[in-house]
Amino acid sequence: MKRYEKFADEIAELIRSGVLKVGEKVPSVRHASRTYGVSPSTVFQAYYLLEDRGLIQARARSGYFVREHAKRPLPEPEISPRLSETTDVDVSELVFSVLASLRDPTTVPFGSAFPSPELFPLQRLARSMAQTVREMPAREVVAEMTSGHPDLRRQIALRYSVSGVLPPMDELVITTGAMEALNLCLQVVTEPGDLVAIEAPAFYATLQVLERLKLRAVEIPVHPRDGIDLDVLTSSLASLPIKACWFMSSLQNPLGASMDDNRKRSLYDLLQRHQVPLIEDDVYAELYFTREPPKPVKSHDRDGLVMHCGSFSKSLAPGYRIGWVAGGRYAEQISRLKLMTTISPSVPAQAAIADYLQHGGYDRHLRRLRHALERQQGEMLASAARHFPASTRVSRPSGGYFLWFEFPQAVDSLQLLQMALAQGISLAPGPIFSATRRFGHCARLNHGHPWDARSEQAMATLGRMIQSFCA
Ligand SMILES: Cc1ncc(COP(=O)(O)O)c(C=O)c1O
């Protein structure tokens, strides 16, 4: 990372932590240069970068100021109710019908699960694919269908070491996207009828997997900023025979919540006391806006209780379908189950990603991607404050590309979806994120696409629709 990028990150952290407040002047170039011991041109370059990330703006003859993302910032969502009853899961029909309605590529994609393809380095990745396939030894294409391509496992292990986790290479199993990894992990540690602790709200595919495997859910509330409610989890573990937990400890989908490191350690200690395995879904790990990458719960794992699942779908190329799991004490069972079901993900796709990670400039791409997502988050927050009712609540995640909106209670988000689709706008309605179809007045909106006049207009249209429920 260049000096000006590091300096920009330091100022961004001051803004994010509230030391520098919205509307406040950031240190002048001369002052910053003297105080931080960097050259004026480094400060200038850093401020241009922060301007580009949407965090500060220049005012004529006055210097740079922390940008007012929203003239009237909307408050954060409330904690979801204290729930931990057990329930069968039956949401697949609803999820499939909503997902089918989101497929039209001409709609404004607020309901999409992916960022814009424009933000991925697909051309560069295609070069890696062409070259590796051309040079691939025949033996590799035919015989390397085991736990994963060795180069890719090495590259993934290297990335882990940056976040303070050092899983042995033989713990790493490469899978067809994180979705396969998550499915395998759950199958290894449960039998039909078992209880699994999940988040409320949760990623809708989690619910579908539980439904398919005939598992029962214990919904644990998630605080929009701090993540899993550890008190509710503690009492649930004490009173119910929970066999596994499936949680996202960083950039939770759909709330965007991230637990801090102390809470992650407490979560681990709690699970360790009960010897309940954790399936840690960490697919948004690379999309953080903070200076330091968030560490996973896996970084506290002393005895292989955590199965940490990752993916390149959110940060590089969803269609290559490459994910993985660092499976801890369950790695061997996971690997065997994979051999019995899908054998191996595509070897050329694994080799291409391995080559790209080594030579393609992944870190540079990730920095650009994070900056674009952060800028677009600011645009959507500001637009929501302009167009949505003042009683709307919205999350403020420190990464990723989703915002979670809590509209006034009168809003029915499934009905809102139908109204929005008729106007060419999609959204992800709250009930698809709940085993018990809660969150009827909530929705997840995606800001992973470049912001333009059409996005702004779509927010204004949604705002009018939301108002119509309250009239
Ligand atoms: C929270 C979460 N976990 C897992 C996945 C699946 O990832 P993959 O595409 O690697 O299978 C997604 C994708 O939408 C997701 O949002």
pLDDT at 72: 61
Of 313, 320, 321, 338, the residue with max ligand 1 atoms within 8 A of its CB, to mutate for a pocket test, comes to 313
Which atom number of ligand 1 is nearest to the Cα of residue 311? 10
Distances in whole angstroms, Cα of residue 438 to Cα of each of 11, 81, 458: 39, 10, 25
* Residue minimizing CA distance to atom 13 of ligand 1: 113
CA–CA separation, 25 vs 64, rounded Å? 6
Q: Does ligand 1 lie within 6 Å of residue 177's CB atom? A: yes
- In this structure, the dihedral spanned by the alpha carbons of residues 357, 49, 386 and 423, taken in order and rounded to 10 degrees, is -40
**Ligand 1 mean position, distance from CA 308 (Å):** 13
**Ligand 1 mean position, distance from CA 318 (Å):** 9
Q: Does ligand 1 lie within 6 Å of residue 299's CB atom? A: no
Assessment of whether the complete model's pTM goes beyond 0.85? yes
Q: Which residues pair with 63 in a beta bridge?
A: 59
Which residues, other chains included, contact 338 with Cβ-Cβ below 8 Å and sequence gap of 6+?
147, 173, 175, 180, 184, 344
Of 209, 311, 322, 353, the residue with max ligand 1 atoms within 8 A of its CB, to mutate for a pocket test, comes to 311
Neighbours of 29 (CB within 10 A): 18
CA–CA separation, 325 vs 301, rounded Å? 14
Strand pairing class (216-223; 86-87)? antiparallel
Full set of structural domains in the chain with CATH: 3-66 (1.10.10.10), 89-118+365-470 (3.90.1150.10), 120-359 (3.40.640.10)
CA–CA separation, 247 vs 121, rounded Å? 29
Q: Does ligand 1 lie within 6 Å of residue 318's CB atom? A: yes
DSSP letter string, 272-295: HHHT--EEEE-TTTT-B-SSSPPP
**Ligand 1 mean position, distance from CA 39 (Å):** 43
Contacts 24+ apart (CB under 8 A), 17-24: 20/66, 21/66, 22/66, 22/67, 22/68, 22/69, 22/73, 23/65, 23/66, 23/68, 24/65, 24/66
**Ligand 1 mean position, distance from CA 65 (Å):** 37
pLDDT at 103: 82
CA–CA separation, 131 vs 351, rounded Å? 10
CA–CA separation, 64 vs 44, rounded Å? 10
Q: Does ligand 1 lie within 6 Å of residue 252's CB atom? A: no
Query: At 386, phi and psi to the nearest 5?
Result: -75, -40
Tell how far CA 270 is from the center of its chain. 24
Q: Does ligand 1 lie within 6 Å of residue 140's CB atom? A: no
Which atom number of ligand 1 is nearest to the Cα of residue 312? 10
**Ligand 1 mean position, distance from CA 93 (Å):** 19
**Ligand 1 mean position, distance from CA 179 (Å):** 6
CA–CA separation, 161 vs 153, rounded Å? 12
Q: Helices then strands (H, E): number in the chain?
A: 16, 15
Closest CA to 206 of 401, 435, 431, 405: 435
**Ligand 1 mean position, distance from CA 139 (Å):** 31
Are the CB atoms for 256 and 292 separated by under 8 Å?
Answer: no
Distances in whole angstroms, Cα of residue 403 to Cα of each of 28, 149, 395: 33, 36, 6
Distances in whole angstroms, Cα of residue 276 to Cα of each of 200, 271, 311: 19, 5, 24
Q: At what angle do helices 122-135 and 347-359 cross, to 10 degrees?
A: 120
pLDDT at 430: 95
Given a cut of 70, the residues of the chain with pLDDT beneath it are: 69-72, 79-85, 142-145
Q: Does ligand 1 lie within 6 Å of residue 253's CB atom? A: yes
pLDDT at 380: 95
CA–CA separation, 289 vs 367, rounded Å? 9
* Residue minimizing CA distance to atom 7 of ligand 1: 178
CA–CA separation, 335 vs 416, rounded Å? 43
pLDDT at 143: 66
Are the CB atoms for 449 and 426 separated by under 8 Å?
Answer: no
pLDDT at 82: 64
Q: Does ligand 1 lie within 6 Å of residue 289's CB atom? A: no
Which atom number of ligand 1 is nearest to the Cα of residue 252? 1
- In this structure, the dihedral spanned by the alpha carbons of residues 20, 23, 29 and 31, taken in order and rounded to 10 degrees, is -50
Strand ranges (E), 161-305: 172-176, 195-200, 216-223, 227-228, 242-247, 278-281
**Ligand 1 mean position, distance from CA 342 (Å):** 18
CA–CA separation, 193 vs 378, rounded Å? 44
